[in-house]
Amino acid sequence: MGHGSGGRRSAAENAGQASLRASNLRLIVTLVYAADEPISRADLSVASGLTRSTVSRLTEDLLQAGFLRELGPARITGPGRPAVPLAPATGTLVATGAEIAPAHVAVRSVDLSGRVLAEHWHDTDLMGSDAEVVLGDLGVSLRTVHARLPDGVRPLGTALALPGLVEQGSGRLLQAPNLGWRDVVPARLVRGLGPGPRLGAGDVVHVGNEADLAATAVAQTRPGHPSALRDMIYLSGEVGIGAAVVREGAVLAGRHGWAGEVGHLTVDVSGPLCRCGSSGCLEQYAGRPAILRAAGLPEHTTPAELARLADTDHPGARQALHRAGGALGIALAGVINLLDVPTVVLGGDLGLLARHLIPAAEPELVRRVLSARWVPPRMVVAHPGSALTGDVPTGGATSRVPVALAPPVEAAELSLAATGAAYHLLGRALDRPDQQLPLP
């Protein structure tokens, strides 16, 4: 049989058309999701440079696939038909983020609009825990959360945030010192739970570092919509301290995905031994157990209780937090000098204790950051989609380093890593919407 061109497109032409369609779909999705307000098809045509007919075809496909939704027609201010604004869809594609930390487990299912559809949180002690047991319990929590999801949603799977070194591609956890885990493949253990069908929505399709995924949540107000914090050093503090560097809204994970281990920067070479095998690491001064030991307080003391004690001039609490803040300032000064990213976002315990840590960190930053005279370092407290600025009183005096303190929030709201893990999967879908659409 011959293969003449009579009316048939070549494989290369078909591939080119598919690539062009995928690119145009991604462009429309990007414009709608990044917009501060719902946007009309006419405005999309102008912003994208595509013809109105092309935009109409693409948006129809995206509406059918559950990426977009139409709102009520806008008020008519001139001749012609009213414009129908487009916005991110709700209750269609759903991703689940899960976080395993030394002191808690969190699970959160989020849709494309950033709305939390179901979640689970419980405090626990997982230091030195058994990975197989913990991941088995996580599978149960995933089933519980997914049972609460509305009918008709389409799951994209689960992304898991862990406090350690994760091998890119394989999702293998190489080491998590504060959990006591080494060489673990979480996806395999979660999927292999018990009798019955696969978890479906609970299938772990991505494993990442906790700080990297938490920074993803801070860098976006919702999936696909950038926050004001596009360049930052995000610090996540609990038992240990992790970090992520964000430039232009993207996490810089490093060659192997292992960047950001700020907790293991050396503050004092003659300091206390660390679980990682080194000595004088930052988390031996500013991690929760280290602060409580220095304060002479029970290990079950919560960050909120610690902050209240420091507020009432408890000498041990104030001295321990001052010591921790100083160590933070020393470590962060080195990071800022190296990377030229002067905005620091404090998450987890560090965010809750910020008003006591920053007054001690500030003098170290001012003294040690070479560029501080021209661009003073800025410290803010993490929120999903943070955009906090301004000077506030700290310890009786207004800080020279711009600071923003967040109001108290519920524990579940602090699971930035679970939120960011869900955002990561949703972001992958937004980057390739054509994969959720039928072939043309």
Distance CA 337, CA 25 (A): 41
Q: Is the pLDDT of residue 403 over 80?
A: no
- 8 A C-beta contact, residue 414 and residue 303: no
pLDDT of residue 275: 84
pLDDT of residue 297: 96
Q: Is the pLDDT of residue 243 over 60?
A: yes
Q: Is the pLDDT of residue 417 over 50?
A: yes
Q: For 225-229, 248-252, 340-344, 402-406, which range has the lowest pLDDT when averaged over its residues?
A: 402-406
Token match 């070549």: residue?
10
- Dump pLDDT digits (tens) for 123-172: 899 999 999 999 999 999 999 999 999 999 999 999 999 999 999 888 99
Q: Strands 220-222, 232-237: parallel, antiparallel or unpaired by DSSP?
A: unpaired
Distance CA 331, CA 255 (A): 22
The angle formed by the CA atoms of residues 371, 372 and 377, to the nearest 5 degrees, is 115
Mean pLDDT, residues 376-390? 66
Confidence of residue 393 (pLDDT cuts 50, 70, 90): very low
Averaged pLDDT score across all residues of the chain: 86
Mean pLDDT, residues 340-345? 94
Confidence of residue 329 (pLDDT cuts 50, 70, 90): very high
Mean pLDDT, residues 324-351? 94
Helix (H, G, I), strand (E, B) or coil at 311: helix
Distance CA 336, CA 316 (A): 30
Query: Which residues touch 217 (CB under 8 Å, ≥6 apart)?
Result: 384, 385, 416, 417, 419, 420, 423
Q: Which residues of 136-158 are buried (b: 16+ CB within 10 A; e: fewer)?
A: ebbbebbbebbeebeeebebbbb
pLDDT of residue 391: 32
Confidence of residue 239 (pLDDT cuts 50, 70, 90): confident
List, edge to edge, every strand of the sheet that includes 343-348: 250-251, 241-247, 232-237, 343-348, 378-381, 403-404
* pTM confidence score: 0.86
- Dump pLDDT digits (tens) for 279-328: 999 999 999 999 999 999 999 999 999 999 999 999 999 999 999 999 99
pLDDT of residue 386: 43
Mean pLDDT, residues 92-111? 94
- 8 A C-beta contact, residue 213 and residue 97: yes
Nearest Cα to 122, choosing from 109, 143, 138? Answer: 138
Domains and CATH numbers, the chain: 13-72+85-89 (1.10.10.10), 93-212+418-434 (3.30.420.40), 227-409 (3.30.420.40)
Mean pLDDT, residues 355-371? 95
- Dump pLDDT digits (tens) for 165-224: 999 888 999 999 889 999 999 988 886 443 334 445 558 889 999 999 999 999 999 999
Question: For residue 234, what are the β-bridge partners?
Answer: 244, 345
pLDDT of residue 79: 57
Confidence of residue 409 (pLDDT cuts 50, 70, 90): very low
Percent over 70 (pLDDT), the chain: 84
Distance CA 347, CA 242 (A): 10
Q: Is the pLDDT of residue 428 over 90?
A: yes
> For residue 268, what is the DSSP state?
-
pLDDT of residue 412: 40
Mean pLDDT, residues 56-83? 82
Confidence of residue 382 (pLDDT cuts 50, 70, 90): confident
Confidence of residue 255 (pLDDT cuts 50, 70, 90): confident
Token match 């009309």: residue?
40
pLDDT of residue 9: 61
pLDDT of residue 238: 84
